[in-house]
Copies of this chain bind each other. A is one copy, B any other.
């Protein structure tokens, strides 16, 4: 019992293959009566429609969109921001009958999929530079999120401005301030920056956040040495814990700690509370992202709220529209109870 093909069906119905194909794809190319007649007959004999694999080859279009994640899936999954982002993407894709191919950015090539995928949504700068260049060299559409790729449309929030604003709200003149940063330098473990060279500063959102913090610090008349800036290689609790301990045990302890993500800030808060430090009396903390958990803590976190779902949805819409214009999404400063 082989699978039916267009040809088989055409033969059975006594019409050309083109007509069958048109019945399925281009209703304007044949009379309505013939069309329904054909479709009914197909249902009758069990032909479910043109073979997708053949369609992909012929049309050069597969309805598959690759979502390239900067980090390995292992990290992605534990990160609520990435999580909800995927949600948003998938929602829009589904509405448009597109399919989602999940692609981890730590793979070192896209050659396996570039031939059949309709486009790429790229979430976060690939760790792996080769992937960026490959993405840029191929001709399928690309939408970048939370980083920039030359000549490609990007979805972003104004990270510099948002960071500036949350920092400005948290800082008082005369403060000692520390920063818990993310992917600022190339290091596999949590550490202070000192004078390590900054990583990939052009396209990285965390560097924009750093810029924003620095502007606010300068305006408030505060200086921050690079040994008061920590760097985490990934946005995961296990890296945050170590930074939190170190920064809280340093003496004199900072009055403010600016964290580049809520995951980091929450771990820090937890750690500080355990140590009996009064928040915000003795120490002020800011986060970034606005994940749900940050709103449930006590005291609840001062942070920058951005809608990851919306980001995902806009990214997908942008890709599908074929438009080439970047987009800056709104955010909201939530003062919370930690500053």
Cβ contact within 8 Å between A100 and B99: no
**Is A48 among interface residues, defined by CB-CB distance under 8 A?**
yes
A 51-71 to B, binary, CB cutoff 8 A, 1 in contact else 0: 111101100101110000000
Task: Evaluate contact between A90 and B115: CB separation under 8 angstroms.
Answer: no
Does A107 belong to the interface (CB within 8 Å)? yes
Q: Shortest Cβ distance from A65 into chain B, in angstroms? A: 10
Stretch at the interface among A81-89, A203-211, A279-287: A81-89
Give which listed residue, B48, B56, B113, contacts A99 with CB less than 8 A: B113
Interface centre among A48, A53, A87, A94 (most CB of B within 10 A): A53
Per-residue interface assignment for chain A, residues 77 to 104, with 1 indicating a CB less than 8 Å from any chain B CB and 0 otherwise: 1100001101100110010010111111
Cβ distance A313 to chain B, nearest Cβ, rounded Å: 12
Copies in the complex: 2
* A94:B116 contact, CB within 8 angstroms: no
- CB-CB under 8 A from A202, the residues of chain B are none
CB–CB A78/B83 < 8 A = yes
Question: Do residues A51 and B115 form an inter-chain contact, with CB atoms below 8 A?
Answer: yes
Cβ distance A92 to chain B, nearest Cβ, rounded Å? 11
Asked if A248 lies at the interface with its beta carbon under 8 angstroms from chain B, I say no
Which chain B residues border A103 with CB–CB below 8 Å? 99-100
User: Is A53 within 8 A of B102, CB to CB?
Assistant: no
Q: Are A101 and B101 within 8 A (Cβ)?
A: yes
Whether A73 pairs with B86 at a CB distance below 8 angstroms is: yes
With the chains together, A48 CA to B134 CA distance in Å? 12
Nearest CB in chain B to that of A114: its residue: B52
Kindly state the separation between the CA atoms of A103 and B97 in the bound complex, as whole angstroms: 11
Minimum CB–CB distance for A73 against chain B, Å: 4
**Residue A74 at the B interface, CB < 8 A?**
yes
Q: Is the CB of B113 within 8 A of A52?
A: yes
Partner of A112, one of B73, B74, B99, B114: B99
Q: Does A49 contact B (CB under 8 A)?
A: yes
A74: contacting residue among B64, B87, B102, CB under 8 A: B87
Complex interface: chain B residues within 8 A of A187 (CB): none
Q: A84 to B77, Cβ gap below 8 A?
A: yes
- If A52-B113, A112-B52 touch, does A102 touch B90 (CB 8 Å cutoff)? yes
- CB-nearest residue of chain B to A111: B48
Q: Within 8 Å CB of A111, what residues of B?
A: 48-49
Q: List 24 A-B contacts (CB under 8 A).
A: A48-B111, A51-B115, A52-B116, A53-B56, A53-B57, A53-B62, A53-B115, A53-B116, A54-B57, A56-B56, A57-B57, A64-B101, A73-B90, A74-B87, A77-B83, A77-B84, A90-B102, A90-B104, A94-B104, A99-B113, A100-B102, A100-B103, A101-B102, A102-B102
